[in-house]
């Protein structure tokens, strides 16, 4: 504001003060705020970082979830990591059926990462622990070669899991769908796991925390499925899934 204008405003304020018995000064302008998309990751003030950009190009091991993310989420045990490349099963045979990504989508080979608390892996698939109780998580991810196709694949994969939200009483069941929007074309949907003891009505119980779950991930031309066998609650699942889709 120019000095002459400031002087005029102050003179008017003083004049009003003389007439009314008090001085009236111009109101402060409202602070400028940035619009934030719900669920999106924003940069910390002053760090100069931008929102992550959608992925593109070939998949590599660096796009998969690291064991360190589980330590950050409070998982106490040491985690061993096993990777492989090819096709293979995903999802849960007791609900959606045991299939491979190739059978479901007809896509190319995928990267598999198993996170477990043991070195004893299944002889037919090193990303699977010999004992399911030792499995922490397992991620399957691939490059669809275009964001549009990757989005289509994730929508189809999510539709496969939705029926598992309604199962006969005493059968394990998934809870409601949670969506995490990190940035445009970087999003994930996850469903919490509830065992049959908590399923008395055919759906997940209200007010109860999940015990792990499954997430469908989309980041640019990359897509994936993350199964979390560790018994993580809502806050921990949200943290892990956000980390996975951002890394993807």
Helix (H) or strand (E) holding 137: strand 135-143
Q: What is the CA radius of gyration of the chain?
A: 25
Q: How far is CA 61 from CA 49, 83, 213, in A?
A: 24, 8, 22
Half-sphere exposure at residue 229, Cβ-oriented, CA atoms within 13 angstroms: 20
Rounded distance between C-alpha atoms, residue 159 and residue 91, angstroms? 12
Backbone angles phi, psi at 236, to 5 degrees: -70, -40
Blockwise average pLDDT, block size 10, the chain, 248 residues: 39 39 32 31 41 89 95 94 86 68 75 95 92 94 94 93 93 95 97 95 94 97 95 97 97
CB–CB of 147/136 below 8 Å? no
Is 10 in a helix, a strand, or coil? Answer: helix
Residue 134 tokens, joined: 């030792």
Structure tokens at 32: 């400028």
Bridge partner list, 214: 191, 227
For the whole model, what pTM was predicted?
Answer: 0.78
pLDDT tens-digit series, residues 100-142: 777 777 766 889 999 999 999 999 899 999 999 999 999 999 9
Residue 95: the pLDDT is 75
Lookup: tokens for 132: 């399911």
Joined tokens for residue 227? 């199964």
234: left (phi over 0), alpha (psi -120 to 50) or beta: alpha
The per-residue pLDDT for range 141-156, each reduced to its tens digit, is 999 999 999 999 999 9
Look at residue 94 in the predicted model and tell me its pLDDT.
Answer: 64
Q: What is the dihedral of CA 47, 183, 225, 209, to 10 degrees?
A: 80
Question: Tokens for 33?
Answer: 């705020």
Q: Is residue 102 within 8 Å of 87, Cβ to Cβ? A: yes
Q: Give residue 50's pLDDT.
A: 75
């Amino acid at each position: 504001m120019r000095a002459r204008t400031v002087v005029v405003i102050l003179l008017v304020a003083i004049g009003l003060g003389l007439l009314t018995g008090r001085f009236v000064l111009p109101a402060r302008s409202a602070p400028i705020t940035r619009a934030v998309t719900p669920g999106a990751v924003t940069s910390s003030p002053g760090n100069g970082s931008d929102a992550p950009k959608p992925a593109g190009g070939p998949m590599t091991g660096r796009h998969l979830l690291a064991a360190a993310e589980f330590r950050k989420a409070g998982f106490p045990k040491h985690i061993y990591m096993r990777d492989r490349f090819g096709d293979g099963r995903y999802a849960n045979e007791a609900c959606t059926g045991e299939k491979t990504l190739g059978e479901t989508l007809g896509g190319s080979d995928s990267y598999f990462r198993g996170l477990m608390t043991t070195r004893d892996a299944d002889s037919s698939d090193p990303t699977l622990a010999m004992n399911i109780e030792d499995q922490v998580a397992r991620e399957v991810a691939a490059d669809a070669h275009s964001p549009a196709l990757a989005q289509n694949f994730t929508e189809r994969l999510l539709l496969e899991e939705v029926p598992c939200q309604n199962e006969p009483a005493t059968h394990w069941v998934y809870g409601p769908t949670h969506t995490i929007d990190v940035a445009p074309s970087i999003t994930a949907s996850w469903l919490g796991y509830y065992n049959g003891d908590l399923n008395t009505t055919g759906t997940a119980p209200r007010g109860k925390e999940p015990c792990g779950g499954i997430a469908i991930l989309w980041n640019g031309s990359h897509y994936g499925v993350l199964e979390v066998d560790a018994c993580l609650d809502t806050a921990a699942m949200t943290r892990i899934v956000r980390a996975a889709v951002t890394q993807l």
